[in-house]
């Protein structure tokens, strides 16, 4: 199971072993438990695989947690080139900064679940015609057979 909750300015992704990935929305820092990851490369900690790529001087994070690909996108101010699009592969859960520019990026990325965060998340959801009620926690069980993208409005 994967559980995602918003605690202040930190998105927390917890797996079934209670390992927590922390994504700081203000500083764009990512950590698995206490292990801070701020450099491109491939990492593994507590059975969580992470690939960090740098494009246009920005870091992009792709996690493999419980067999699901979780992608964290802190930015909306980059040019969507082929090299970046090729990094977005088979995304199960996309955590994306909510902004007015983010919908055009999300439209070019296929993800099964999209969870916007930040001050502009309501504008993001409204722009895409998604009027979802806010929830405290998102829990993803093992199976995920979505034909369409599901949008989640996380508090």
Nearest to 62 by CA among 46, 34, 42, 83: 42
Average pLDDT, the chain: 91
The pLDDT value recorded for residue 51 is 96
Instruction: For residue range 81-131, list pLDDT tens digits in order.
Output: 888 888 888 899 999 999 989 999 998 888 999 999 998 999 999 999 998
In whole angstroms, what is the distance from residue 137 CA to residue 5 CA? 5
- What DSSP element (H or E) covers 47? none
Instruction: Reply yes or no on whether the pLDDT at 143 is more than 80.
Output: no
Residue ranges of domains in the chain, CATH in brackets: 2-151 (3.60.15.10)
The pLDDT value recorded for residue 144 is 62
Backbone angles phi, psi at 83, to 5 degrees: -65, -35
3-class SS letters over 2-34: EEEEEECCEEEEECCCCCEEEEECCCCCEEECC
Contacts for 120 with CB less than 8 Å, ≥ 6 apart: 97, 98, 99, 100, 102
């Amino acid at each position: 199971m994967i559980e995602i909750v918003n605690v202040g300015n930190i998105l927390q992704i917890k797996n079934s072993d209670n390992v927590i990935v922390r994504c700081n929305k203000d500083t764009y820092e990512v950590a698995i438990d206490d292990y801070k990851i701020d450099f491109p490369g491939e990492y593994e900690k507590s059975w969580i695989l992470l690939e960090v790529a740098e494009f246009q001087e920005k870091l992009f994070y792709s996690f493999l947690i419980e067999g699901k690909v979780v992608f964290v996108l802190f930015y909306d101010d980059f040019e969507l080139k082929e090299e970046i699009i090729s990094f977005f592969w088979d995304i199960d859960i996309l955590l994306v900064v909510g902004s007015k520019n983010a919908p055009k990026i999300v439209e070019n990325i296929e993800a099964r679940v999209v969870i916007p965060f930040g001050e502009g998340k309501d504008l993001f959801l409204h722009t895409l015609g998604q009027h979802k009620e806010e929830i405290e926690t998102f829990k993803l069980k093992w199976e995920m057979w979505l034909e369409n993208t599901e949008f989640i409005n996380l508090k």
